[in-house]
Structure 1
Amino acid sequence: MEALDLRADQLASAVGARPLLLLALLLAGTVGVLLGLVAVARLSERHARALWARAARAYSAAAEHPVTQRLSIRFPAVARVLRELSAAEYLVIHLALGLVLTLAALVFVALAEAVSGGASIVQVDLALARALHASSSSAGVTALRAFTYLGSGWALTVLAIVVAAVLLKRRQRVLAVGWLIALAGSGLLNRALKALFARPRPLFDEPLAVAMGWSFPSGHSMGTFVTFGMLSYLAILFLRTLRARVAFVAFALGWTVAMGFSRIYLGVHYLSDVLAGFAAGGVWLAVCVSGIEVARRRPSRIDGRPPAG
């Protein structure tokens, strides 16, 4: 175990000594995974349709079961929501979002326990932070200081107002409200988590940047993940072609990864802070999108028009 920890420290020091290469690998890996998932989905589309039809029939049979009928009488509000969703919609949206939420929550809990317990991830954090700090350049610091400001609370607030105004102009009130709740809730949740774990930020004799507050999880990373996750959700609803949707999601992923990298490079967060920010953002994003999808299928109470997308 000690040898494994030592190799992890050495690897972190090695990649931290080449920050541009590290960023390029992160971006290429993230976009590559996205394109791979799209390719696999397209290749397996025929089999997925057959599986989907079986799952839809199973859902319909379960909905007509006497036990389900009795539960529907006992819990009419839940039954009403489920009736407004088709079987395919329920399976695609809510099971997928439930899987994302579960995985993200497990990752966050694992990171929190590792950081709190002083596991090997802490040594990796320190090794990577020191290597990036030692290999930093004035040009890189200047560029990433400007870039990281785009993930600040002020910048995301301006973006939230602009997007909400556009959605309201298009009479998409449910989406506008859901968008604002997602971004505002992300900020509040991040503050609560920071106060709960109270992890000090990295310390250097000559810091490249200074940030206030606690370190775990990264607010920039979590806020950017939720913001660009919601933008990707809106893009999937409103963009017409698969190519345009994939291109936007790839851009959103690249932007989010770069934002997390900027926080580590500037020495205001550890690697585990950024990963935890992404994980916590994934949990909150899944909850928000699931809630919006339920609300969009009750248009008569808010919009009085069919849902978009």
Structure 2
Amino acid sequence: MNLKLQLTRAFFLSLASVIGFGLVAILVGEQKIAQFDSAVTSFIQGLESPTMTIIMKFFTTIGSIPVVIILSILVLLFLYKVLHHRTELILFLAVIIGAAILNQALKFTFERARPTAHRLIQESGYSFPSGHSMEAFALYGILAFLLWRHTSTRIGRSFLILISIIMIVIIGTSRIYLGVHYPSDVLGGYLAGGFWLAAAIWIYQHYMESRK
């Protein structure tokens, strides 16, 4: 795939994500998404069992700030020590730190209270958009992008994409299952994370093209 096509795709993915987030934010702000939230929450929480709760708590822990920091440090060491790619290191840092800052800015903008009906764990702070979902999308999305560039086989790339999707989906779902986020929070987190990820990749690819 040539660089111009990659730039075009990244731009339109970023644009589509920010438009999608805007639509969800409007529905949340006008309280017109309650039926969607109720239906999805009822389905996911209807799967509750002792085993499922253990699994969901495990994945929500993986998406927590301490674990994300540990994983990020390991990735940074890999990029710097093994691949010797400093520009990719900067891209990774920009995506992860930028997503965290953007998430907090959005939370304090919308100030949506968390659900209280059926909580299996305790959380504080505002609800929209989901920080776990946004960071999961940013972290596993940028990992997929960077590792894809160093994976030559179709099987390897397919496995990479599959694992990334599974991690993003399950971490987001765990937040709904455990009762600390509405489904629209998770959807908003995915879209906001997608916007930031695609925008960062677009800037990175544009920078690499200008260097050539």
User: TM-score over 0.5 for the alignment?
Assistant: yes
Give 1:251 deviation, angstroms. Answer: 1.3
Write out per-residue CA displacement over residues 7-44 of structure 1, whole angstroms, 9 at most, x where no aligned residue.
xxxxxxxxxxxxxxxxxxxxxxxxxxxxxxxxxxxxxx
Cα separation, 2, equivalents of 1:127 and 1:264? 12
Cα separation, 1, equivalents of 2:77 and 2:88? 11
- Please give the TM-score of this superposition, normalised by the length of structure 1: 0.65
Give 1:111 deviation, angstroms. Answer: 0.3
Q: 1:241 to 1:130 in 2, by over 3 A?
A: closer
Look up the match of 1:111. Answer: 24
Look up the match of 1:220. Answer: 132
Look up the match of 1:70. Answer: none
Cα separation, 1, equivalents of 2:23 and 2:73? 35
Write out per-residue CA displacement over residues 233-264 of structure 1, whole angstroms, 9 at most, x where no aligned residue.
01211001122112211110111111111111
- Superposed, which structure 2 residues align to 1:66-85 within 5 Å? none
Look up the match of 1:156. Answer: 68
Look up the match of 1:93. Answer: 6
List gaps (5 residues or longer) in structure 1. Answer: 1-51, 53-87, 301-309
Greater relative CO (CA pairs within 8 A, separation 6+):
2
Give 1:294 deviation, angstroms. Answer: 2.8
Give 1:298 deviation, angstroms. Answer: 6.0
Q: Does the Cα contact within 8 Å between 1:208 and 1:266 map onto a contact in 2?
A: yes
Structure whose alpha-carbon radius of gyration is higher = 1
Q: 1:295 to 1:168 in 2, by over 3 A?
A: farther
Q: Does the Cα contact within 8 Å between 2:130 and 2:188 map onto a contact in 1?
A: yes
Q: Give the counterpart of 1:200 among 113, 116, 140.
A: 113
Look up the match of 1:211. Answer: 123
Give 1:134 deviation, angstroms. Answer: 5.3
**Identity, % of aligned positions:** 32
Look up the match of 1:58. Answer: none
Shift >2 Å, 4+ stretches: 126-135, 294-300
Look up the match of 1:190. Answer: 103
Cα separation, 2, equivalents of 1:252 and 1:237? 15
Return the letter of the residue paired with 1:274. Answer: V
Write out per-residue CA displacement over residues 128-147 of structure 1, whole angstroms, 9 at most, x where no aligned residue.
33454455222211221122
Give 1:98 deviation, angstroms. Answer: 1.1
Give the count of matched residue pairs.
Answer: 211
**What SS does the aligned partner of 1:213 have?**
coil
RMSD: 1.8
Q: Give the counterpart of 2:91 among 163, 178, 199.
A: 178
Look up the match of 2:79. Answer: 167
